[in-house]
Amino acid sequence: MRIAIDAMGGDHAPDVVVAGALEAAREWADTTIILVGDSARIEPLLQGTKPSNLVIRHAAEIIEADDEPVKAVRRKKDASMVVAGRMVREKEADAMISAGNTGALMTTGLLVVGRIAGIERPALAPMIPTMDGKGVLALDLGANMDSSPEQLLQFAIMGSIYRDKVHGVANPRVGLLNVGTEAMKGNELTKAAYPLLEQAPIHFVGNVESREVLKAPCDVLVCDGFAGNIMLKSVEGAASVIFSVLKKEFTQNLFTKLAALILKPGLTKFRRSFDYSEHGAAPLLGIDGLLLKSHGSSNAFAIKNAVRQARIALQNDLVRSISKEISKGSEL
């Protein structure tokens, strides 16, 4: 397996990306790690310890976090992210991982690598942490603001296959993000998507209210990117406000400080479970190649974990499985 890693993407690139790549190369001797980026900056970070299964592919340009995605991908043809995407398209790499600009990675997927035949829109599918620790794969969360019912159906199929192939969840439960549980609830989009999901070759469990998501009522949550983003950021916002108030309460006086000390271990552990960066890389599903988006603030451990995810997805032939299922649908 050959996995290309965008060495220049992410808040702490290239340092932590190179460190994570090194760890991955050491752990999996059967995998070639290709660090794509500025070799003059990558070389010194290897400190002469380069394992034989780690190689550098020089790329002179960088797509920055605030670059306009489409423009950046079109103009910076020698950017590390774009070069990695080209390697996937030309079968020089089996997968790519980037912690860089999310929009640019989606554009790289669409314009450089290309879609699976029959897929209307690729979808970004991060894991949402849940109380039971297992998480819900939500899609789309980023790639598309306006979706059609047919696109939601494709998201459901792709998400199901991913959960099965990569997470080993047999017959994953698929829910539709909605404002109520009854079949006729929702807006025009969800009302039209519901019957399509009912008839699809998936385990559809019906509508899921955003209030319930953290209780893991499903393994795959289907939504358009706008509603999904509103949901995710509302949860983040509420958690952030509550924890900041807790902090304030904890520091009121000597007694509350003492109380805080006692409670701290449990709460820190809990707070971490709400940290989205701890839940692995998000696949960009529907692209004719394996693309994984690591969180921008990823540390070396997160980068290594993304390599682990990529290996499992490759071993289980994720992309071909999606392609097969989608082509079945279009034959009907």
Q: Which residue ranges make up the site for a copy of itself (CB under 8 A)? A: 131, 145-146, 177, 179, 186-188, 190, 209-215, 224-227, 229-243, 245-246, 249-250, 252, 255-256, 258-260, 262-263, 266-267, 270
Place of tokens 């393994």: 219
Distance of closest approach, residue 180 Cβ to a copy of itself, in angstroms: 8
With b for 16 or more beta-carbon neighbours within 10 A and e for fewer, the 208-234 pattern comes to bebeebbebbbbbbbbbbebbeebbee
- The residue (of 229 and 316) whose beta carbon lies closer to a copy of itself is 229
With b for 16 or more beta-carbon neighbours within 10 A and e for fewer, the 90-101 pattern comes to eeebbbbbbbbb
State how far the Cα of 269 lies from the Cα of 120, in Å rounded to an integer.
Answer: 40
What are the C-alpha distances in Å from 247 to residues 27, 79, 80, 270?
A: 39, 42, 41, 14
- The residue (of 138 and 153) whose beta carbon lies closer to a copy of itself is 138
User: Residue 127 gets which letter from DSSP?
Assistant: E
State how far the Cα of 170 lies from the Cα of 286, in Å rounded to an integer.
Answer: 21
Beta pairing partners, 53: none
Place of tokens 């795959």: 220
Distance of closest approach, residue 269 Cβ to a copy of itself, in angstroms: 9
- The residue (of 117 and 131) whose beta carbon lies closer to a copy of itself is 131
What are the C-alpha distances in Å from 194 to residues 164, 174, 175, 205?
A: 22, 11, 10, 10
Distance of closest approach, residue 49 Cβ to a copy of itself, in angstroms: 41
Place of tokens 């310890």: 49
Distance of closest approach, residue 225 Cβ to a copy of itself, in angstroms: 8
- The residue (of 171 and 256) whose beta carbon lies closer to a copy of itself is 256
Distance of closest approach, residue 207 Cβ to a copy of itself, in angstroms: 12
Read off the tokens for 328.
């079945």
- The residue (of 132 and 331) whose beta carbon lies closer to a copy of itself is 132
DSSP 20-44: HHHHHHHH-TT-EEEEEE-HHHHHH
Distance of closest approach, residue 245 Cβ to a copy of itself, in angstroms: 5
Distance of closest approach, residue 273 Cβ to a copy of itself, in angstroms: 9
Pairing of strands 282-285, 123-124: antiparallel
- The residue (of 270 and 301) whose beta carbon lies closer to a copy of itself is 270
Distance of closest approach, residue 231 Cβ to a copy of itself, in angstroms: 5
Beta pairing partners, 10: none
- The residue (of 4 and 128) whose beta carbon lies closer to a copy of itself is 128
- The residue (of 49 and 240) whose beta carbon lies closer to a copy of itself is 240
Distance of closest approach, residue 253 Cβ to a copy of itself, in angstroms: 9
CA-wise closest residue to 38 among 14, 22, 72, 20: 14
- The residue (of 117 and 245) whose beta carbon lies closer to a copy of itself is 245
